[in-house]
C-alpha cells in the first residue's frame, strides 16, 4: 500500500489540464483532474460510454450540457449519466480547479 494525498504534486505551471488515474479496473476508474483556465473546445462534447460522478474539491468550474450550464463551486458534485453530452465551459483562470471524477458502468 502507498499513502497519497490528492493535493500533492500539483504543477506550478498548468499550460494544459492534468489527468491522472488514481484507481482503475474493468468497472471503475477514479481520476484526478487539475485545471487552471482550461475548457473543452467549443465544437467538442464528451459523450462517454460510462457514467461519471465528478466533484470540485478546490476551485470553481462551469459544466455545459445541451440544455444549459451548471456552476460548480468547491464541494459541489454531479452525476452525469452515460451518453449525456457535456463539456467544461469554464475553469477559474486565476486559481487551480481540482476535480475528482469517478467513471463507472
The phi and psi torsions of 79 (rounded to 5 degrees) equal -105, 125
Buried b (16+ CB within 10 A) or exposed e, 2-30: eeeeeeeeeeeebeebbeeeeeeeeeebb
Residue 50: per-residue pLDDT: 97
CATH homologous superfamily of 18-104 = Jelly Rolls (2.60.120.10)
* Mean pLDDT lowest among 10-14, 24-28, 34-38, 92-96: 10-14
pLDDT at 12 over 90: no
Name the DSSP class of 3. Answer: -
Residue 14: per-residue pLDDT: 87
Enumerate long-range contacts of 2-9, CB under 8 Å, 24 or more apart.
Answer: 6/32, 6/57, 6/98, 6/100, 7/58, 7/98
Q: What is the pLDDT of residues 46-104, one digit of tens each?
A: 999 999 999 999 999 999 999 999 999 999 999 999 999 999 999 999 999 999 999 99
Domain positions in the chain are: 18-104
Amino acid at each position: 500500500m502507498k499513502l497519497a494525498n490528492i493535493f500533492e504534486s500539483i504543477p506550478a505551471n498548468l499550460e494544459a489540464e492534468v489527468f491522472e488515474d488514481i484507481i482503475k479496473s474493468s468497472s471503475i476508474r477514479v481520476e484526478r483532474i487539475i485545471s487552471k483556465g482550461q475548457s473543452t473546445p467549443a465544437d467538442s462534447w464528451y459523450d462517454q460510454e460510462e457514467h461519471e460522478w465528478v466533484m470540485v474539491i478546490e476551485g470553481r468550474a462551469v459544466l455545459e450540457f445541451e440544455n444549459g450550464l451548471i456552476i460548480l463551486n468547491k464541494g459541489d458534485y454531479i452525476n452525469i449519466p452515460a451518453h449525456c453530452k457535456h463539456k467544461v465551459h469554464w475553469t477559474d483562470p486565476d486559481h487551480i480547479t481540482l476535480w475528482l471524477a469517478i467513471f463507472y458502468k
